[in-house]
Structure formats: structure tokens, C-alpha cells
Structure 1
């Protein structure tokens, strides 16, 4: 049995764990990192990276078949699904070295390729090594949640982890779950030539603003994706190539392949948290605002902490932990400035409060500003006029922004900056955006907030007329 002592022990080499490890090691801490599976975690190997790579392949196919509106003849693309998966694998391989064991050992991190299990409040067992640490960070992420639908265990099904091994294009893909993962993969496969049916127990894209979600859903339906809402899966039956999903109201959906995309569950099973005095909730490990667990020597970050499940949130958490664990400084998490995006086309993004939440929180003080893509010259030139930006404003400050449309995931960055720093609509209005860009939408939305105050205000008009009389 090997034993070692370390300043900081990190369990899990996904995006959050790697960020803590790199920062802490380069600042002089003795860092030990445990990973029992793949370096890079879910994001690199099964989530963000492969999904966006497949979406890029699908976009290429779609552009070829919809070029006529730009004066270029439409072509029927010859889709090689296996080659598209090779593209996905190549993208992963290109990024892998950044997350590799070799790189982190080069930074001075001690990397042990074993799962970690708590044996006391300050000790973790990893293979044949017992590790005692001053501080411990749990960054084990999450895995696909597979619901207990009768019959599901009797048929072959895919998750976001196993989808990437599929080499033959599905003839008809059934997707249980209408959230971001389900809708992104639904559109990608439709564009690559599959028939696609999405089966959602409630509302598709139900966590987003309904008005904005409808912009996306209308576009997806227009591409030929069948989206069945209020369709709670009751039973699954069939075999490879012929699968049926029966829902509560009796409808039956038939397809060749089944993708289960109903959400994520925190990875806690191997940790033996009880031994460390760490409590859990229904969604993950219980943490306070500083990301400390009920064992104050142990932090939990990213998906396993049970909050927003996004790679960039794990990275944000890493910064909080480094400040607290390495320097002993107070650091607390906030969520108001955390954006998220769904990478369908059109894209869907959000930061801060949706309109419904803002109305509930702020009542009559709330002003909602809308600006449509159809008024943006670059969007017109690109034939990307489907969509709008909606800003929720209280006393001149945005408290939430919802965007549906081309490059919504890029546009939301500015609003995250604005909300994070308590800036006002005037700050956005004062910005000068190059013309013509999609980014002008943000400035024009801010302008739409001030327009009625300037152009529909009798006092302003009286002042202008008075000034004009006296100007030489």
C-alpha cells in the first residue's frame, strides 16, 4: 500500500478538475489528480466537443442543399455518416493533448489513473494508494440519466456517451427527451439524412423562454423533424432496427434507433461520501455558496454540485475554489451572470432571468425590450432573419436576456459581461459596433430601450425646440 500527502487532491479530470489542477499547480501547490476513466471528462469525449463537431458536419450538408437563395444551385449532399464520425474523432484527438496526462504532469500535477473513494474525512483511496490531503475537490461530473421506462432495458438504445460509436446512419432516429442535447442531435441527424422524431414528456426546450423556444421549434419542424410534446414515454419494445415507443396517451412512435436524452445525474456512486461526512441532495452533493460540502475541507464543483450543468460553470467554479483553497480568501458563487446556449440553428441562449421569472420578481418595475433580427442588415444579407433578442430591464439595468437566432450563443457573451458587472443599458448603447455585423443587434436592442424616452417624449421635444431658438 502506497501512502502520500498532498496540499490539494482533485477527484475527476473533467473541465472543472483540470482547471483547478492547472491553476493550483502553477501557483505552487502540491496537487494530486485522480481520474479512473478518460482525461477531459464528458465534455471532451462525449458532450460539448463531439456534439458541436457533428453539428458542423450537419450544417455543411444543409448549406449544400439550401444554396439557391444565395444564387448557387442546390445540391443533394452525399452524406457519409461514418466519415462524419471520423471528423468528430479527429476534433477530439486535436483537443486531447490539452487535457492529457502528459501535459498535466508537465505542469507538476501528480496524476493517478484510478477512481477515488473516501476512507475518512481527509483521506481517499485510489487503487493501491492512500492519499491524505489538506483540501479535496470533487469534480466527478455527471452521466446520462436513463429513466426506468418499462422495456427500455430490453432494447438497444443510445445515450450521448454511446452515440459516437455508431457508424451507420440511423434510418429513423427516435429521441426521448426534448432538451438541448435531444434537440441538437435531432437536428444534426435530420440534416445528415435521417428521419427524426422527438418524444418529449412536457414541453420541448421547456427550461427556456417559451417565446424564444418557439422560434427554434418552428424552424426544426420546418426541417421535417416531428416533435411530439406532452408525450410521456410509457413503454418501449422491439429490437435493433425496429423500435417502438408508446406514450401515456396511447400514441406509438416507430423508428430504427433510439436515443435517450432526458437529463443528467451526478456521478457520486464510487465516492463513499458517508465516510467523509458529506451530505447529498436529489441533484448532487450539497454545497454552500463557496462550494464547500458539509465537510469543510472538501469542495464539490461542476455537475456533481447539483446546480447548472455546463462546462463553463465548472470552469467558473474552479476559479472560486482556487481563490478559497489556495489563498484562504472569501469567494462565493453567483448565478445571475451565467449564460447558456443551445446550438441548434437558429441558436437559443439565455443569461439571467427569463421574462416570466423577471415579472414574478420585479412586477411592474420590469420593462421588456424586443428587437428582431429582421431589422439587422447583416442578418438580411446572410438570410438569417429568423429570431429576436429580448432584454428584461429594471431601473435601467438588464436583469435577463433571451436570444433566439443566428449566433445567439455569441451574442449572449456581451450580456453576461453587462450583468456580471452591474452595467446599465446606457453602457451597451454607448458601444460602437462595426457595420454590418450580427453584434449590432445588442446595441440596437439597447437603443430600442431608449427610443421611446427620446422620440416619444414631449418634454424632450420642447427642450430641443427651445434650444434651437437660442442657438446662433
Structure 2
């Protein structure tokens, strides 16, 4: 940011900014009138409305990364991206006994079930984490020795209480809109409800004001760093387009997520469609699934756990999506991003990796799907 501020016609004001009206912002004791305003205020921890939470201390992801020591035990609320990444760290580096509350049958909602099942087994067996599933937090209370007691209820109506020295909140993010003074503008985020968060268009314009652009976590669409950067580029381009009266470009995101699960040794990655989403979209699909242990290179590197899956259009061979939960899956995601975004035919993809390398798992998927399409 400081490097950008040194460019001509750029002023960097290190202060909290608030709207005075639709296109006037106050910061640093000054008011700035602008033709366009970009809101890129990020997000904050989404603290749940749980009875008793105000009576106990808790640690967020930021607290964990700043900490130099940890207690003996912990209970974790939130088993999404952040929870998947930090729970093994707390178990291994922190040496903690952990209980992690999972609301569903398995973690990684966006993945096909086999990946969530594999991740659950990995955490329970390799990191010695207790994961009660299909349960929801009901209330929490302090214990006499300074710890916490979390009460949960399972889908079958039974209840359980888990005690630990420390509570960890990895419960997601909420858009950082408080204190911006949006009430002084025409922009009304609360007027729009639903998962689409369509108070911001895909052009990154606020629906209530086409000269206010909202990017990144602040718009609530997809709180992922690389998405925020791409949305920022889209907003900048569209401001220039809008100023000269040209058509604006909508931000189109091919699903591309990476979770650094299993201490980063067993990351989960997904590019494009899962089998479920492809079928829901109306595709007749051919699917190949391969275990990491099917390829000797994973055994040789002592990382035999995990699996991968390729989904293609059975009619024309177009690769629709890929998922991987295994060693080096994060690095392979870029290759599959190119394949999916270019709409390559699986029958035209070379199926020979240099031996012995972990991308051999991709070779097997490509061969199986190519054979299925040929049939």
C-alpha cells in the first residue's frame, strides 16, 4: 500500500474513513468528494449468539497465530476453512487435546462426501482429535478451574457437555461494514437477504448506487483472498469503463478453493464442479476416483492418505471439475484450473507425468475418464 501511495496523484490517509453522504468520505480530519467510492474494508470474526459466551474467554485465529504457548486442552467451534487449518496446528505444535464440534455428518461441505469422510478420519486418527458430528452448541459456561464447559445437542435429541481449558472460535467472518456511515448513503445492505448477498452486483457495484463499488470480504460474496484480489481488479476496470460510458464486465469466478488441511501435508483443493454440482447443472458426467495409495510415489514419500476425483462431460469430454485431498493437491490445483477454465477435452490431455512424481495421480484420473468418454 505504501508503495502504491508513492505514485503520482495518490494520497494515503492512515485513518478510519466514514461516509458523510453518498460520495463524500471523511478521514484524517478532512473530507473527500469523489466520483466513485470503493469499499474494501474486509471482515471480522463472526462471533455467534451463544448463551454464556460473554462469560468465558475465547481465542480467534488471530489470537492463535500470536500465541506462544497453549493450555493442555481446547474445545473448538467452527470446522470450516480456518478450523481445518488451525486444529492440526493446535494439536501438533500446541500439543493440545482437542474436541471439535461438527454440525453435519462430515467437514468440507463443498466437497463430495468421500472427501469429508477422508478428512474426518485423517483428523481423528492422525491428529487424535475428537469430532462429535451432527450436533449444535446450546450454551457455554465457565468451570471452577478457569476452563469452559460447552453443552451441545445432537440431531437425535441427546445432549453432551465437553470441558476444556480454552475455547477457540473459528466460526467464520462477517463483512466489515460497521462504523462506515452507510446510513448516510443510499446503500442499504440489510435491505437484501439470502445467500446471494445481492446488495452488490457481479460488476462489484452496490445495487443502490452504481458509483459505489464493494469488493472482497466486505461484500459477503466469497471471503477468499484470491477472490478479493480478482474482484478488486474487476472494480478498477469497471470504474474506468463506467466513466467512459462503456459496458461493464461481470466478475465470473470458476470455483477454485484450497484448504490447507492436515498441517498443509494433506490439503484439500477443488476446481470447478463437484460430481454433485455437475449433475445438478444438468450434465451427463463421467467420473474417475483414485486413492493416493494407488500410486507408489505417495507411499514412498510417506503420505499415502487421501484421494482425488475428476468430473468430465460424458458427451464431449470437457473437464468440468476436480477435487483432491492429498499431498501436493494445492500445487496441482493450478494445473486443473488451466484445464477447467480452458474447457479442455480430457482425451487431449497428456496422461504421462514424470516418474516418480505425485502428479501421476492425475494421469490415472485422465486415463479413466478418457476411456469412459470413448465408450
Common topology (TM > 0.5): yes
Query: Where in structure 2 are there 5+ consecutive unaligned residues?
Result: none
Counterparts of residues 40-51 of structure 1 (less than 5 Å): none
- Given that 2:351 and 2:364 are in contact with CA atoms closer than 8 Å, whether structure 1 keeps it comes out as no
Counterparts of residues 308-323 of structure 1 (less than 5 Å): 308-323=222-237
- Given that 2:255 and 2:273 are in contact with CA atoms closer than 8 Å, whether structure 1 keeps it comes out as no
How far residue 436 of structure 1 moved from its aligned partner, in angstroms, is 2.0
How far residue 449 of structure 1 moved from its aligned partner, in angstroms, is 1.1
Partners of 1:310 and 1:452 in 2: how far apart? 35
SS in 1 for 2:37: strand
Counterparts of residues 330-369 of structure 1 (less than 5 Å): 330-335=248-253, 337-345=254-262, 346-362=266-282, 365-369=284-288
How far residue 327 of structure 1 moved from its aligned partner, in angstroms, is 4.6
| 1:407 equivalent in alignment to 2:312 | no
Partners of 1:121 and 1:146 in 2: how far apart? 30
Task: Determine the structure 2 residue equivalent to 1:186.
Answer: 87
* TM-score normalised by L of structure 2: 0.87
| 1:303 equivalent in alignment to 2:223 | no
Task: Determine the structure 1 residue equivalent to 2:147.
Answer: 242
Partners of 2:206 and 2:276 in 1: how far apart? 32
* TM-score normalised by L of structure 1: 0.70
SS in 2 for 1:259: strand
Q: Pick the aligned partner of 2:206 from 268, 288, 293.
A: 293
Task: Determine the structure 2 residue equivalent to 1:388.
Answer: 307
Task: Determine the structure 2 residue equivalent to 1:195.
Answer: 97
SS in 2 for 1:268: coil
| 1:164 equivalent in alignment to 2:31 | no
Partners of 1:285 and 1:162 in 2: how far apart? 32
Partners of 1:332 and 1:206 in 2: how far apart? 26
Q: Pick the aligned partner of 1:207 from 110, 121, 134.
A: 110
Give the number of equivalent residue pairs. Answer: 352
Higher deviation after alignment, 248-257 or 373-382: 373-382
Partners of 2:293 and 2:103 in 1: how far apart? 33
Report the aligned-residue RMSD.
2.1
Higher deviation after alignment, 124-133 or 308-317: 124-133
Higher deviation after alignment, 384-393 or 308-317: 384-393
Partners of 1:381 and 1:148 in 2: how far apart? 48
- Given that 1:338 and 1:416 are in contact with CA atoms closer than 8 Å, whether structure 2 keeps it comes out as no
- Given that 1:174 and 1:255 are in contact with CA atoms closer than 8 Å, whether structure 2 keeps it comes out as yes
Counterparts of residues 5-20 of structure 1 (less than 5 Å): none
Task: Describe the superposition over 1:285-328 as per-residue Cα deviations: whole angstroms up to 9, x where unpaired.
Answer: 71112111121111111111121111000111122122212354
Please identify which structure carries the higher helix content. Answer: 1
Distance 1:273 1:285, change over 3 A: farther
Task: Determine the structure 2 residue equivalent to 1:46.
Answer: none
Task: Describe the superposition over 1:324-357 as per-residue Cα deviations: whole angstroms up to 9, x where unpaired.
Answer: 123545321112x231111112211112222222
